[in-house]
Amino acid sequence: MRVDVAGVFVDAITKQETLNIISEYVASGQPHLIVTTYSEFVVFASKDSEYQNVLNSATLSLPDGIGILWAAKYLSLSTSNRFQALGQIIYSGASLIFNPSYCRTVIPETVTGSRLVWDIAQQASEKNYSLALVGGTNGVAQTAANELKKKYPNLKVKLAVSDNKFDQETVNRIASSNSDILLIAYQPPLQEKWLTQNLNQFNVKVAIGLGGTFDYLAGKRLSAPKFISTIGLEWLWRLITQPWRIVRIWNAIIVFIKIVYRYKIIKT
C-alpha cells in the first residue's frame, strides 16, 4: 500500500518485505529504482514538481525516517479546523517519544538506507548478487565496500569508485561492471533525478540512492544509536555530531512540519 505524504507516495512496508521485493527485482532481470524517502525529500518535492514525479514514479519508495511515519499518521487523522490540526501536531509528535507504536499504525516501521545497506550486503552474499558502489569523495566507496566485505567475505563487489563525475562515463563504467545492485552515494534531489534519467543504461536490476551512507560505513560519520532513532531524535544526534548541517536539519524538521500541516489543511 502506498501512502500519500504531502504529495509524495511512500510504501507502507517493513524491512523484511523490502528485502523480499529486492530479491524479486533481481530475479526479474529488469531495472528497478528504489528511493529512500525521508522528510527532506518531501520538502524538495514541494518546490520541484519534476522531483515529485521522479519520487512517485520509483518502483519502491521506502519510509526512511521517523518523520515519514509521523506525517503518515498525522495526515490520516480527521480534522475539522486549523486549531485541531495544530493540536494534532503536538499530540502525534509527543507520541513519538511516549507512545512510539501510535505513529506506526499507518506505516509500520522505518526502512533506513544506512541500515538497510547491511541487510542488502548479507542478502547479496547469500544469494550471490553483485554490487556496485558509486559516489562520495576521498575513496569512501572503496572503504565502504571493504567494510561490507569484512562482515560478509563472500560479498561480490564488482565496482567501487568515488570522486567521479556523474556523467556518461560513469554510466558506462556502471554498465560494464554488469552488477545486479547499484548503490549510489550522491545528494538529493540530483541523486534520484540522475538515477531516473539513466536507469535503463545502468545494466542493473536494482538502483538505490543512499546519500551519505558510504560515510557511515567507512566510519567517517557516527551513526545514531538505535534507541535514538526509535524515539525520533536522530535529527538531534546529527545536529550534535554534524552541526554544519543545521540548514538541512531545519528543512527536514521545521519546514517539513509546515508543509505537512498546510497539505492537511488544504485536503480538509
Task: Identify the domain containing residue 112 by its residue range.
Answer: 2-77+108-228
Residue 243 belongs to some domain of the structure? no
CB 235 within 8 A of CB 212: no
Q: How confident is the model at residue 84 (pLDDT cuts 50, 70, 90)?
A: very high
Backbone phi, then psi, for 141, in 5-degree steps? Answer: -65, -40
The CATH number assigned to the domain holding 59 equals: 3.40.50
Q: For position 42, what pLDDT does the model report?
A: 97
Give 206's strand partners: 32, 181
CB 132 within 8 A of CB 159: yes
Q: For position 261, what pLDDT does the model report?
A: 97
pTM: 0.91
User: What is the side-by-side strand order in the sheet with 32-37?
Assistant: 60-63, 32-37, 206-209, 181-185, 130-135, 156-161
Residue 50 belongs to some domain of the structure? yes
Percent of the chain whose pLDDT exceeds 90: 73
Residue 258 belongs to some domain of the structure? no
Domain total in the chain: 1
pLDDT tens sequence across 102-138: 999 999 999 999 899 999 999 999 999 999 999 988 8
Task: List CB contacts of 199: < 8 A, sequence separation 6 or more.
Answer: 31, 33, 207
- Write the single-letter amino acid at 198: N
Closest CA to 111 of 29, 20, 180: 20
